[in-house]
Structure 1
Amino acid sequence: MAQYIIGVDIGTTSTKTILFDIAGTAHAKSNQGYPLIQDAVGMAEQAPAQILQAVYSGIRAVTADIAPTSIVGIAFSAAMHSLILLDDQQQPLTRSITWADNRAAAAAAKLKAMQGATARELRTGVPTHPMTPLSKLVWLRENRPELMQQAKYIVGIKEYVLLQLTGQLVTDYSLAGATGMFNLNTCDWDDAALHLAGITRTQLPPLVPTTKQLDGLTVAASKETGLPQNTPVIVGASDGCLSNLGLGAIDAGDVALTIGTSGAVRTACKQPVPTTVTFTYYLAPDLWIQGGPTNNGGNVLQWLDRSLFPDFGHDYPRLLETVGSVPAGSHHLLCLPFFSGERAPIWDWNARASFIGLTATHTRADMARAALEGVAFNLRAILLRTSRQPKRILATGGFAQSKQWAQLLADSLGQPIQIPDNYESSALGAAILGLNSLGLLSGLKLPQTTTAPATIIKPNPATHTFYAAWFALWQDAVAQTATINHAIAKLRG
């Protein structure tokens, strides 16, 4: 009988569930969406129960046509920086506060201004930002002290889902590293960061390796999924780290570039390389992922569609074809695409989008290309702080499926971009980690014969030469607009 493993990727807007055979080939896929709750300024929350049901539904969908006993395990990936407070009965006191929630901005500013902030960032591997659970906990302590007093446990969304599936509460080293409260040097909670958050170790789940197997499913979870109770559950890691693993980008010089709603640039290293402008997260023994996330990727395309091209009827391929008709430089128009503030490399939640050089002769197509060039330039800025001489760049995510976008990116970076056919890299990365944990895969690489071929987009040398000068001007614009953006933020209050 054939054997299969399920890779579950709990994302910001949906949970992707994929059924892989033990060679890493996908046989069934499910994508279960859920809303982002934004009832107040800066809020970005989700209902944990809805996400749990998305996990259950996804598992049922991909296993509908196979024998439940053929499943060797379920392995998990999840978005970083989520926060849920649980009471003494392990019931949610809050919804899941996602990475995109910006209400902890004032708390993050206080943390950033404290003596020892730089040392803490280097110790924990995470720049100070409202996205981190550390900042969120400080904000909650100041604004919802009654909730903090009731909080018996402090978890993220993957911890909550695993608790419902297995009855066990644990946090893997990878997602712990995204909290801002994990010490890279000791692979343990950082006492000084916990003190700042106003919490104790007893409120946090025990730390476990990413390959940790939990002891099967609860009776209720077995009934919900249709799988046997003794099905192994592998804890897994964060989606960013697992995207590198799923792409095979875990060798020195490999760079993974992901662009979905947001984006990230990541490279692998054998030991932590913390800086104050990039993150460093654990993936496996002697394997760490360094890089930087951007808030602005597919959301910029969504803004263009909504605000400048409503007559296109959400036809994104047509919009991108229109962008392709505009020359590099967008007729001398720059865009700083910080529609949602920005994380790497400037880590400025007060950053805002702007067009510079706009004249009456510019068209909406010019503005659209300038915006996408701005996204590409920010990714280049992150890459320069992560890996100055990458050997290989692998791109995945929705944007990677557009030839126009991929060409613009290759021209900006000045290097070929490889686009694997299998772009659900985080779910595949979870499956790889799971197969390794189960003893069905030696190491963390699938056999070469089973990996999908990649499309290679080569840069245009002349365009790259132009972009090199245009990028320098773009960087100057980012630096020079920071002061006015902060002044506007003060007026907003």
Structure 2
Amino acid sequence: MIGVDIGTTSTKAVLFKKNGEAVYKSDVGYPLHSPNVAVAEQDPEEIFQAVITTIKDCVAKAGDGTIHFISFSAAMHSVIAIDENDQALTKCITWADNRSAKWADLIRKYHNGHAIYRNTGTPIHAMSPLSKIMWLENDHPEIAMKTKKYIGIKAYIFFRLFGQYVVDHSIASATGMMNLEKLTWDEAALNIVKITEEKLPKLVKTTKKFHDVNSKYAAEMGLDGEIPFIIGASDGVLSNVGVGAIEEGDVAVTIGTSGAVRTIIDQPRTDEKGRIFCYALTEKHWVIGGPVNNGGMILRWLKEALATSEVEVAKSLDKNPYDMLTEIAADVPAGANGLLFHPFLAGERAPFWNPNMRGSFIGLSLTHEKKHMIRAVLEGVMFNLYSVLIALNEVMDTSIHTVKATGGFSRSPLWRQMMADIFDLEVSIPQSYESSCLGACVLGMYANGEIDDFSHVTSMIGTTFTHTPEVETRKTYKELMAIFIRTSRILEKEYEQLSKLQR
């Protein structure tokens, strides 16, 4: 079976055996076009070609083995405007694009935004297609008047492959326009942006199977045209499945380019304070949690902005520069000698939902060196994720007892231990790092009736690394965490003023 994950920076396809063993992975990257701080777009055709290439690679690797099905995971919140001739009028506008921030603010203040959030489960923010479509409809009428459909990247892929505009309940629940209870497009949300549901794709279950893939692309991928394609769900909810965070009290934490904290529940639920999302997995499984903008991208910024000399040393030693950064951080005591870092370089989603948040080093003194700054940056990402966990814990009926972590960061023993100490919980990391692809395949098995529930995944994820909190370190982090949260709130207005000056 093949799991395909259409991500923000690359598309990955993984060929799995039925026991969960990863046989082969193909990964094709593509650029994120960000000419200024507000824009974050991609070329949908580049992404489509990446999907074709990665599947083709996996099929070739399978040889004579039978591909049972192909199932999909995809990043959320993207928007592409499509014209009457089924051509893209815009690039793929990603979750990180902030040009609709003004309209998100207007929805929140003047269009009963909190009620829309309670109906749809998506906090009012520039990330959401609700805000993006309102921006296009109002600020770009030259595009809006030509638009037949507003779709996301997975709907674009499936139209190219099957000639139908469809969106699964999971991706749709992240648009801010799908009613969680009715599983239909939400009338109040559509009234705000003044569009009808005809301008959106058809809603389908995450287990929906498609046959008869376009013969041209089937031949290009080396596929039998009858192999079922399962539309699947979003990358976030499938990551929970892929790491085995499927029981009450299990929380999945992912740090890729961005990051998220999530748990699975059996019916939709939102937060009175509006801090968390609620997205669909199946009609019986829902995922609540919070996303952060600032995950692995902060480490990339650190490498490029503050560690050029360390990068050169790493090159000379034929060493991964990120490994060198974490080694430097490991030489510094927990808490970086009282230095904090707010990692809000790309604004922030949960728990603040404020695109104007900005970053800061707090507590710098003459005793601090670059190594302390490196340590503080890594800790700042974890502190921010923990603030999301606090919000999630307040909404859940069951207390959190286990964290299952995934994403590129989970390869680092330092970050894994840092998470255990800051969260004050046992942290386990599955052997397989491709949790969204594995989750897509488990959902595919569920769609095919091969398994009755998701608990089967526990036999598929392999061995895990486990980290437990260290007592003294935990005490240090608890004291610093209170300062981190307090200063984040205190500085919100100042960050907004600074972001206006930057624009």
TM-score, with length taken from structure 2:
0.95
The amino acid across from 2:212 in the alignment is G
Q: Is the 8 A contact 1:45 1:101 kept in 2?
A: yes
Give the whole-Å Cα distance in 2 for the aligned partners of 1:376 and 1:21: 34
1:91 alignment partner in structure 2: 87
- Tell me, yes or no, if structure 1 residue 390 matches structure 2 residue 390: no
TM-score, with length taken from structure 1:
0.97
- Tell me, yes or no, if structure 1 residue 470 matches structure 2 residue 480: yes
Q: Is the 8 A contact 2:343 2:359 kept in 1?
A: yes
Give the whole-Å Cα distance in 2 for the aligned partners of 1:9 and 1:56: 12
Alignment of 1:471-490 (within 5 A): 471-490=481-500
Structure 1 position 28, deviation (Å): 1.1
Alpha-carbon deviations, 1:104-143, whole Å to 9, x = none?
1111111111142111111110111111011111111222
Q: Is the 8 A contact 1:244 1:266 kept in 2?
A: yes
1:204 alignment partner in structure 2: 200
2:452 alignment partner in structure 1: 442
Residue 57 of structure 1 aligns to a residue whose secondary structure is helix
Residue 186 of structure 1 aligns to a residue whose secondary structure is coil
Give the whole-Å Cα distance in 2 for the aligned partners of 1:451 and 1:489: 43
Give the whole-Å Cα distance in 1 for the aligned partners of 2:78 and 2:56: 25
Give the whole-Å Cα distance in 1 for the aligned partners of 2:283 and 2:452: 14
1:176 alignment partner in structure 2: 172
Alignment of 1:339-488 (within 5 A): 339-387=345-393, 389-446=399-456, 448-488=458-498
2:77 alignment partner in structure 1: 81
Structure 1 position 226, deviation (Å): 1.0
Q: Over aligned residues, Cα RMSD in angstroms?
A: 1.4
Give the whole-Å Cα distance in 2 for the aligned partners of 1:271 and 1:423: 28
What's the % identity of the aligned pairs?
44
Alpha-carbon deviations, 1:410-442, whole Å to 9, x = none?
110111110111010000011111111122233
Give the whole-Å Cα distance in 1 for the aligned partners of 2:148 and 2:217: 23
The amino acid across from 2:362 in the alignment is I
Q: Is the 8 A contact 2:446 2:452 kept in 1?
A: yes
Q: Is the 8 A contact 1:14 1:32 kept in 2?
A: yes
Give the whole-Å Cα distance in 1 for the aligned partners of 2:502 and 2:62: 56
The amino acid across from 1:391 in the alignment is H
Alignment of 1:40-439 (within 5 A): 40-67=36-63, 70-275=66-271, 276-313=274-311, 315-387=321-393, 389-439=399-449
Q: Is the 8 A contact 1:155 1:204 kept in 2?
A: yes
The amino acid across from 2:103 in the alignment is A
CA spacing shift, 1:168–1:66, aligned 2, 3 Å: same
Give the whole-Å Cα distance in 2 for the aligned partners of 1:394 and 1:80: 21
CA spacing shift, 1:371–1:66, aligned 2, 3 Å: closer
The amino acid across from 1:189 in the alignment is W
Structure 1 position 470, deviation (Å): 1.1
The amino acid across from 1:20 in the alignment is F
Query: Unaligned 5+ residue runs, structure 2?
Result: 312-319
Residue 153 of structure 1 aligns to a residue whose secondary structure is strand
Alpha-carbon deviations, 1:441-465, whole Å to 9, x = none?
3322326443311100111111111
How many residues get paired? 489
Q: Is the 8 A contact 1:411 1:459 kept in 2?
A: yes
The amino acid across from 1:326 in the alignment is V
Worse overlay, 433-442 or 119-128 = 433-442
Give the whole-Å Cα distance in 2 for the aligned partners of 1:329 and 1:97: 38
Structure 1 position 39, deviation (Å): 2.7
Residue 64 of structure 1 aligns to a residue whose secondary structure is helix
Give the whole-Å Cα distance in 2 for the aligned partners of 1:40 and 1:86: 24
Alpha-carbon deviations, 1:263-310, whole Å to 9, x = none?
000001111111211000010122100000011111111111111110
Alpha-carbon deviations, 1:23-75, whole Å to 9, x = none?
22211110110111123441111111110110111011111133467111110
Residue 317 of structure 1 aligns to a residue whose secondary structure is helix
Give the whole-Å Cα distance in 2 for the aligned partners of 1:40 and 1:302: 17
CA spacing shift, 1:356–1:453, aligned 2, 3 Å: same
Give the whole-Å Cα distance in 2 for the aligned partners of 1:109 and 1:477: 23
Q: Is the 8 A contact 1:295 1:342 kept in 2?
A: yes
Query: Unaligned 5+ residue runs, structure 1?
Result: none
CA spacing shift, 1:449–1:475, aligned 2, 3 Å: closer
CA spacing shift, 1:330–1:447, aligned 2, 3 Å: closer
The amino acid across from 1:299 in the alignment is M
Alpha-carbon deviations, 1:183-204, whole Å to 9, x = none?
1111110111112122111111
CA spacing shift, 1:316–1:330, aligned 2, 3 Å: same
Residue 69 of structure 2 aligns to a residue whose secondary structure is strand
Residue 106 of structure 2 aligns to a residue whose secondary structure is helix
Alpha-carbon deviations, 1:375-400, whole Å to 9, x = none?
11111110111136312110000111
Structure 1 position 492, deviation (Å): 4.2
Residue 365 of structure 1 aligns to a residue whose secondary structure is helix
Q: Is the 8 A contact 1:32 1:58 kept in 2?
A: yes
The amino acid across from 2:292 in the alignment is T
2:315 alignment partner in structure 1: none
